[in-house]
Amino acid sequence: MDIHKQMEIIRRGAAEIISEEELKKKLEQSLNRKRPLRVKVGFDPTAPDIHLGHTVLLRKMRQFQDLGHQVIFLIGDFTGMIGDPSGQDKMRRRLSEKEVKENAATYKKQVFKILDSGKTRVAFNSAWFRKMNSGEILNLASYVTLAQILARQDFNQRYTQGRDISLLEFYYPLLQAYDSVRLEADIEIGGIDQKFNLLLGRELQKDFNQAPQAVIMLPLLEGTDGAQKMSKSFGNYIGINESSDSMFGKIMSISDELMFKYYQLLTDEDLEQIKKMHPKEAKLRLAENIIAQYHCQKAASLARQEFLRVFSQKELPKEVAEYKIGAGQTIVVILVNSGLVNSGNEARRLISQRAVFFDNSPVDKENFTPQKSGILKVGARRFLRLVI
């Protein structure tokens, strides 16, 4: 494929490319030398589930595979025990080696719903970091200054506000950058919040006499709340392993404005054609498209039918899970223990927003205690049959 067409595909959804001229030269050299470019993307296995926010990067990786380049899916099993400080306003909880290994195993199973397994190189950065002695690790620190690290906006804010920053966190960007050196990456893809780390990779490659990688940054995908980036910790995520009905309902809950961003980053649809559609029909099509990617077309069609039956015709889902409650259990306890919400804080927030209903009546008190069996509904898509 010619360079112009490749660049057109690569640009779709990209927030920033550093630099386009460098990237074009790398693509030209790849074409002339018949050598695929090495495209690196790192994922720290900090949670077991991959959600649609992760797939923004994975889809871009798949595009490079389809263009004939080599994709390296790097699992940060070593750096994952530190935790990426990007965008964090406090120290992250350190994961154990056992947690990281378990999460990494689930990542490997899920990513091939998107990536071509036959064209993907899976690497673990523990393969080199565990072999380095303390002197070699400390030597890496000589390539970066404290002033450079504190130039990062998130670090600078925490430092000026007197919030704790561990020395391990200072090391994280350097370790991520060194991954690029070890893999001799031609291109690295990451979220826009990774800019400092990605650019440090370019600088470190120069220090090790390598050609600096081109950097492709993608926007962060907001979750179902439309405000914060998609994250399991925020409870606003859509997991690719969720049931088709759950995924459909969550996608239908996003705003019309956010819908177009989902189309751009999560599908190959023609946006100009989508903008001509009625918003509701466009959103139904979006949900069906995404579910077909991670389940199948039949599951997507059935999920659409079920959604229209339940939410347009105001009927109950065909299957509603039962939850037995004991005497004196408050609505907050029921919501958390049944798994309808992730935390007590989320339960209280939903109650204050009048998004919790018992037998179609809004629940407006946190200490409400059901006195009979009935249907508990949270938002527009979560149902539970309470049994005394």
Q: Which domains does the chain have, with CATH numbers?
A: 3-218 (3.40.50.620), 242-312 (no CATH), 322-387 (3.10.290.10)
Q: What is the mean pLDDT of residues 25-48?
A: 90
Distances (CA, A) of 256 to 225, 280, 284: 12, 8, 11
| Pairwise CA distance, residues 13 & 60, whole Å | 9
Whole-number pLDDT of residue 89: 43
Q: Which residues on neighbouring strands pair with residue 42, listed in sequence order?
A: 74
Annotate 176-189 with b (16+ C-beta within 10 A) or e (fewer): bbbbbbebebbbbb
Alpha helices for 312-386 (secondary structure H): 331-337, 344-352
Q: How confident is the model at residue 90 (pLDDT cuts 50, 70, 90)?
A: very low
**pLDDT tens-digit readout, 186-244:** 999 999 988 988 999 999 999 999 999 999 999 999 999 888 999 877 888 999 988 89
Q: Which of 59, 5, 14 is nearest to 214 (CA)?
A: 14
pTM value is 0.77
366: DSSP letter: T
Q: Look-up: residue for tokens 């350190």?
A: 94
pLDDT in tens, 352-379: 888 898 887 889 888 898 888 888 888 7
